[in-house]
Amino acid sequence: MTRPGAAPALAYVGLGSNLGDSAGTLRAALADLASLPGILSCKASPMYRSAPVDADGPDYVNAVAALDTTLLPLQLLDALQALELRHGRERPYYHAPRTLDLDLLLYGGERIESDRLTLPHPRMHERAFVLLPLHDLAPALVLGQRRVEDLIAALPDQDITRID
């Protein structure tokens, strides 16, 4: 079910990949996102290369997408997980390297805590690979009581480099 008659929601999605042609995978995933039914617009941040956090494997390529969507939060989550599978995502163990990881970070002002989805994403304020591209898209964004730029300044040093 979409949001019939309701104004579209602004959602932010984190994208990451550390297997294969990661930048190419993110570009393809962004095109796939933009073409999904219920996605009215899709704007992407620049891409960043970052070392894995709490995981092993090669460096990640990360970005964030801002979506105007008529999909409800769980519908969007289902669509994101289907895209991950189309791009070869496997889940052999927790924090395994991946061809594509899509995380629903924010959906309007919604707060959700369920077995399938927690919004806002519970660890995004700790991750430079989320906050830097999010700041590129929405520099005035406030998470909780703090501006994104203040959250970035408070992060411990994380190895991250803008690549485009």
Active site residue 27: no
- Among 94, 98, 116, 93, residue whose Cα is nearest residue 15: 98
Q: Is residue 97 part of a domain?
A: yes
| Per-residue model confidence as pLDDT tens for the chain (164 residues) | 565 666 899 999 999 999 999 999 999 999 999 999 999 999 999 999 999 887 778 999 999 999 999 999 999 999 999 999 898 877 666 666 788 999 999 999 999 999 999 999 999 999 999 999 999 999 999 998 899 999 999 998 888 999 98
Number of domains the chain is built from: 1
- Reading the block at residue 80, the tokens are 């994101």
Q: Rounded to the nearest 5°, which phi and psi values hold at 139?
A: -65, -25
CB-based burial, 87-101: b 16+ in 10 Å, e otherwise: bebeeeeeeebbbbb
Q: Is residue 71 part of a domain?
A: yes
Active site residue 91: no
Q: Which one of the listed residues 27, 59, 68, 103 is annotated catalytic?
A: 103
Q: Which one of the listed residues 32, 49, 89, 136 is annotated catalytic?
A: 89
Q: Is residue 114 part of a domain?
A: yes
Active site residue 146: no
Active site residue 98: yes
Q: Which one of the listed residues 49, 98, 127, 136 is annotated catalytic?
A: 98
- CATH number where 29 lies: 3.30.70.560
Q: Is residue 135 part of a domain?
A: no
pTM assigned to the model: 0.93
